[in-house]
Amino acid sequence: MSKRQVENEGAMNMKPDELNIDELIKRRLNEILPQKIEEKFAELKANKTPSMTIIATKGTLDWAYPPFILSSTAAALGWEVSVFFTFYGLQLLRKDISHLQVSPLGNPGMPMKMPFGPEWFRGINWNIPNAVQSIVPGFETMATTLMKQTIHNKGVADIGELRGLCIEAGVNLIGCQMTVDLFGFTHADFIPEVKEYVGAATFLPLARDADVSLFI
């Protein structure tokens, strides 16, 4: 006799009251279980620590700000944060970052404003054509000096301070080992707070499981 037949025979032998009770229990379980499962998922989600990963690929002064501002802010909010520095972004992990410059050349979205003089003079947007920028000796050095002065005037933290905040907040700074090899660096060239040097295959699972993943 099959299992189904045994169950059917057992049901036939049950009294009407017993059948009603059994049916009520099944119905009640069907009502309660989805609600309980949903509540459990909501509880797990509420208790989960948010996570964020950032891929930092650029190594100029202006592009150093987004990954460090976003990661330090997220860490301050209690998030788990990992930043993967690859290609030119690896420059942001060097012990000496005083060499970082801005490059307005080919960047039409970058405003050129003077950090000194009267208000009307500071408000002028100096839209200097790329053709002029490319032939003026020391133009990038001048632009970098003006940017640093503007940052200082506005009370914005410099890159060294922001990087220190990230380290203090526990941001996981990860170097790309392939880029280290490609450009002939050694681990001694970078700050000791970089605990890991890995490849894309190691970092991508972190990005896959993160709540927020950004490419900068």
Residue 119: its pLDDT value, please? Answer: 73
Residue 134 makes CB contacts below 8 A (sequence gap 6+) with 105
Domain boundaries, the chain: 3-46, 51-215
Residue type, 195: K
CA atoms within 13 A on the CB side of 181: 6
Do the beta carbons of residue 176 and residue 199 sit within 8 Å?
yes
Residues 51-215: name the CATH superfamily: DsrEFH-like (3.40.1260.10)
Please, what are the averages of pLDDT over each run of 10 residues along the chain (216 residues)? 50 54 71 68 67 94 92 94 96 91 65 64 60 60 74 82 93 96 94 94 93 93
3-class secondary structure, 187? helix
Surface-to-core class of residue 216, CB atoms within 10 Å of its CB (0-12 exposed, 13-18 middle, 19+ buried): middle
